[in-house]
Chains A and B, each alone.
Chain A
Amino acid sequence: MAKSNKPVVWGLFAAGGTVAAFITPALVVLALLAATGQIPPLLSYDRLHAFAAHWTGKAVLFGIVFLSLWHAAHRLRVTLHDFGARCDTAIAVAVYLLATAGSIACIVILFRI
């Protein structure tokens, strides 16, 4: 059987889409509460810092950022084709590189906390 990396790429896309579907609206509501002055306790500096300082907190934050980025990257690649762009290889390299760069940046930043 021919080897293909499609299942990996699509699997991460689907995982990211599922995670984003379940949690992003609630996360935006938390940010909106913070923006209107009713800062949820977890978003205060001390609590969020303590959360991100623990390795499980780091893993959760990285998982959310990484999967969201990968989902967006893969869907953007397909969507640009739908908008008439016909240079899939260049687009694929660009979007996956951006998602990878963002994920690596996330790891580096998390380990500074």
Chain B
Amino acid sequence: MAEQVTTRRPYVREVPKTHWFLRQPRYLRYMAREVTCVFIGAYAVFMLVAIARLAEGREAYDEFLRELASPAGIAFQLVILVFALYHTISWFNVTPKAMPVQLGESFVPGWIIVAAHYAGWIAVSIIILALAGAF
């Protein structure tokens, strides 16, 4: 389109740069989903620290387990658990969009892909807990 010279001032809808997502619950859910990455990253660092204490020796590792059992340690795990669950649920719910499965001419219905992920998640969680001897 050729550039037009106009004397009218077009309406430009203002979008606040830093808090636009507070406008709509849909945007807020999107931001909540994205912010889970902070907690996934924090947990990766936590695991890194755990491995480092393990490498230091028995005393350092046992001290690490005692710190884990402190109120702050338990609170950290509970906060991580909430965001990890939100990450899992939001991640699985978009799988039909991220990787649609085509069979012949038609696409597999989205709910089947989502349900398959939830079933796999339950199986994997039970296997991890069983391998760790939690039962």
Residues of A within 8 A of B (CB): 14, 16-18, 20-37, 39-43, 45, 48-49, 52, 61, 64-65, 68-69, 71-73, 75-76, 78-79, 82-84, 102, 105-106, 109-110, 112-113
Contact = CB atoms under 8 A, between A and B. Distances in A.
Interface string B74-89: 1001101100110110
Contact of A21 (B58, B88, B132, B133): B88
A97 to B, nearest CB: 14
A29 B121 contact: no
Q: Which 5 A-B pairs have the closest CB atoms?
A: A72-B41, A75-B37, A41-B133, A68-B44, A84-B18
Contacts, number: 155
Interface in B37-85: 37-38, 40-41, 43-45, 47-48, 51-52, 54-55, 58, 61-62, 65, 68-69, 73-74, 77-78, 80-81, 84-85
A24 B48 contact: no
Contacts of B37: 71-72, 75-76, 79
A31 B58 contact: no
